[in-house]
Structure 1
Amino acid sequence: MEKSQSVIKTKNQVLVLMSLLVAFSYMGSLVKIQGTIALDALPAYLGALLLGPLPGAVIGFAGHLLTAVTSGFPMSLPMHLFIAALMAMTIGLFGCIAEKVNLFLATLTGVFMNGPVSTLGASYLAAVLGLGFSGKIMFFALILPLTLTSLVNAAGAVVLYKVLKARHVLGGHHEVS
């Protein structure tokens, strides 16, 4: 991803855009696919492309917690905090790969990390916490819907980013000054 002239120059502007993207994450959290699988991550992926890996990760963390809140924390608060942390790591990694390599590899990595890797980690932690829905049953029940939803979230953000860039709405990745 090439660097170009920044449009966003101040930390306040970055915080305002982050807040807007968290609000969009809330709206996406209301579009439930299955349980707490929702379209809350698309704004986080977009945030990583527009603002960088760290702001995107913060948006991803908040986005998952909003989905958990709107679902009533069905897997317990500790479980959802763990999943939110996995989401933040996934979005941060996506943003780093998008900056250093390319969007295609970043998208594949984001889908893989948020799909199979996160499902495996969450299934294991759920078993450790003694939740009824855990282990292999949880993994096999969630792997397909979570991976497909991850693809929709990541690819949707990349498409939106490219459309914004093609229409000259933004100048590329923006540095915080």
Structure 2
Amino acid sequence: MNNTKNVSMSNIQVITRSGLLIGLSAIGAMIKIQGTIAFDSMPGFFAALFISPMAGGAVASLGHLLTAFTSGFPLTLPMHLMLTVVMGIIAYFFGVIERKVNGVLACVIAILLNGPVATFIAGITASLLGLPLSGSAMFTALVIPLTVVAAVNVILAYIIFKVLPRK
């Protein structure tokens, strides 16, 4: 009986913490650098470390959707749904790599995945959707700002995780 109570409290804590971090993603989604490049993913990367990789993926995905929504879904809804999945996968792997290997490697991989790799995937997807800004033009226009903002989001999440006291 007591064990069931602890499991329920754990689920409540996960849901509460995830909800708070989704709220922070909404705030970050309003701090845009260029188009849909914003500070929405830091809470997702933090959640991947603090709660679980799965929770981090969910928070990062919702963070991207919030940014895309507040930007008017430039480059179409299908494009942003694909990017939502990509963000979730990147945050998930960030949490897994940090737990299994180390935080520095997790940060480097997450920045590379969220910067150049995600931009490359977006360029290909935009080409397949027949969008005007696509392929190498999209990659060239977005790779630097996306990588810089990705680095800020990932490194800030990692620093906060490291300095936050744990019980």
Match of 2:76 in 1: 76
Q: Name the TM-score, length of structure 1 as normaliser.
A: 0.88
Q: What amino acid is aligned across from residue 86 of structure 1 in structure 2?
A: V
| Aligned: 1:18 with 2:22 | no
Match of 1:129 in 2: 129
Question: More helix per residue: 1 or 2?
Answer: 2
CA distance in 1, matches of 2:105, 2:79: 29
Match of 1:112 in 2: 112
Paired residue secondary structure (2:97)? helix
Q: What amino acid is aligned across from residue 41 of structure 2 in structure 1?
A: A
Structure 1 residue ranges (4+ consecutive) displaced by more than 2 angstroms after TM superposition? none
Note the alpha carbon deviations across 1:101-135, whole angstroms, 9 max, x for none: 11100000100100011000000000110111111
TM alignment of 1:9-158, pairs within 5 A:
10-158=10-158
Q: What amino acid is aligned across from residue 101 of structure 2 in structure 1?
A: V
CA distance in 2, matches of 1:132, 1:161: 40
Paired residue secondary structure (2:73)? coil
Shift in Å at residue 32 of structure 1? 0.3
Higher relative contact order (CA 8 A, sep 6+): 1
Q: What amino acid is aligned across from residue 58 of structure 1 in structure 2?
A: A
Identity of counterpart residues, as a percentage?
A: 43
CA distance in 1, matches of 2:9, 2:163: 22
Q: What amino acid is aligned across from residue 28 of structure 1 in structure 2?
A: G
Q: Name the TM-score, length of structure 2 as normaliser.
A: 0.94
Paired residue secondary structure (2:33)? strand
Q: What amino acid is aligned across from residue 56 of structure 1 in structure 2?
A: G
Number of equivalenced pairs: 160
Shift in Å at residue 9 of structure 1? 5.2
CA distance in 2, matches of 1:52, 1:12: 14
CA distance in 1, matches of 2:155, 2:9: 27
CA distance in 1, matches of 2:135, 2:148: 20
- What are structure 1's unaligned runs of at least 5 residues? 1-7, 172-177
Paired residue secondary structure (1:58)? helix
Over the aligned positions, Cα root-mean-square deviation in angstroms equals 1.1
